[in-house]
Amino acid sequence: MKLREEIHLVGGRPLRLRLRRSGRARHLRLTVSRRSGAEVVLPRWASRRDVDELLAQAADWLQAQVIEHDVWNGPRRRNWATGSELPLLGRSLRLDVRSLPDGRERPRIEVDGECLRLELPADLVLDPRPALDAWLRRFAGRHLRERTAVLGRRLHLQPRRVVVGERTSRWGSCTTNGTISYCYRLVMAPAPVVDAVVIHELCHLEHVNHGPQWRARVERAYPDHALCMAWLRDHGGELEL
């Protein structure tokens, strides 16, 4: 994937716009989020003229979204420090960031009630994001694999493989060879929403599309699926580090 940035005028104001060409993309896609800023994803066939037409057609929507997320100058990241709160499966964990005790070199992160305590090297205390990100990835890997196994047994559907990592466009996916992939930041959503995504993907092991049979299977397995997915559409942009 090739990425470049340019300045684009929106409502007379300069916007830092990311252009990303993807061999997997089938259509031009314009997205705005705090994590990625304003971004256009281009399939291989797309031209500069296609991009200009998309931006012209979506000008009002783009301006409203950029104002809402305040990403005129590109992606915004939270400042993590003691007192910050990390959403995790419907809980809110308060961060307690400390320097490692003398004689220790290895970071230590643990949950203590409603507190997430991070003991870090001095150079990470002022910016604990890398350590927090690594911890969240490990937690997500364990939790999402466990929920996939538990819910899969209930539905008599088991993937051949489960992959947990970064994803920019979808919270989960399922391939035709039985591999289910999740975005690790999904665990920042409430637990029922996480389970809805897991069941969503498990049902794709049986039905590869979103047709009537797949919808019926999902609704039987998880009646609140549609409600949870609506929550994710509304709040997914908030699930970021």
- Domains in the chain: how many in total? 3
Q: What average pLDDT is seen over the chain?
A: 90
pLDDT in tens, 184-215: 999 999 999 999 999 999 999 999 889 999 99
Please check whether residue 29 lies inside any domain of the structure: yes
Please check whether residue 179 lies inside any domain of the structure: yes
21: left (phi over 0), alpha (psi -120 to 50) or beta: beta
Domain interval for residue 181: 136-238
Please check whether residue 148 lies inside any domain of the structure: yes
Please check whether residue 22 lies inside any domain of the structure: yes
Are 234 and 143 contained in the same domain? yes
Are 114 and 166 contained in the same domain? no
Calculate the dihedral angle through the C-alpha atoms of 45, 48, 51, 57, rounding to the nearest 10 degrees: -120
CATH of residue 205: 3.30.2010.10
Please check whether residue 176 lies inside any domain of the structure: yes
Please check whether residue 195 lies inside any domain of the structure: yes
Residue 187 phi/psi, 5-degree rounding, is -70, -5
Are 227 and 204 contained in the same domain? yes
CA atoms within 13 A on the CB side of 14: 6
Are 11 and 39 contained in the same domain? yes
What are the residues whose beta carbons fall under 8 Å from the beta carbon of 38, sequence distance 6 or more?
A: 8, 15, 16, 17, 18, 30, 31, 32, 62, 65, 66, 71
Beta strands (DSSP E) in 70-112 are: 85-88, 91-99, 108-112
Check if the beta carbon of residue 219 is closer than 8 Å to that of residue 201.
Answer: no
Measured between alpha carbons, how far is 108 from 150 in angstroms, rounded to an integer?
Answer: 29
Say if residue 137 is exposed, middle or buried (CB neighbours under 10 Å; 0-12, 13-18, 19+): middle
Looking at residue 37, what is its pLDDT? 86
Measured between alpha carbons, how far is 229 from 239 in angstroms, rounded to an integer?
Answer: 14
114: left (phi over 0), alpha (psi -120 to 50) or beta: alpha
Are 151 and 165 contained in the same domain? yes
Please check whether residue 151 lies inside any domain of the structure: yes
Q: Which three-class secondary structure state does DSSP give residue 12?
A: coil
Q: What is the pTM assigned to this prediction?
A: 0.76
Please check whether residue 175 lies inside any domain of the structure: yes
69, 94, 117: which is the final residue of a domain? 69
Measured between alpha carbons, how far is 151 from 140 in angstroms, rounded to an integer?
Answer: 16
Are 33 and 110 contained in the same domain? no
Are 25 and 62 contained in the same domain? yes
Are 141 and 231 contained in the same domain? yes
Are 13 and 54 contained in the same domain? yes
Looking at residue 111, what is its pLDDT? 93
pLDDT in tens, 217-237: 999 999 999 999 999 988 887
Looking at residue 152, what is its pLDDT? 96
Looking at residue 168, what is its pLDDT? 67
Measured between alpha carbons, how far is 196 from 214 in angstroms, rounded to an integer?
Answer: 14
Q: How far apart are the first and last CA of the chain?
A: 23
Are 101 and 158 contained in the same domain? no
Query: Over the Cα atoms of the chain, what is R_g?
Result: 20
Report the percentage of the chain scoring pLDDT > 70.
98
Q: Which has more pLDDT, 92 or 238? A: 92
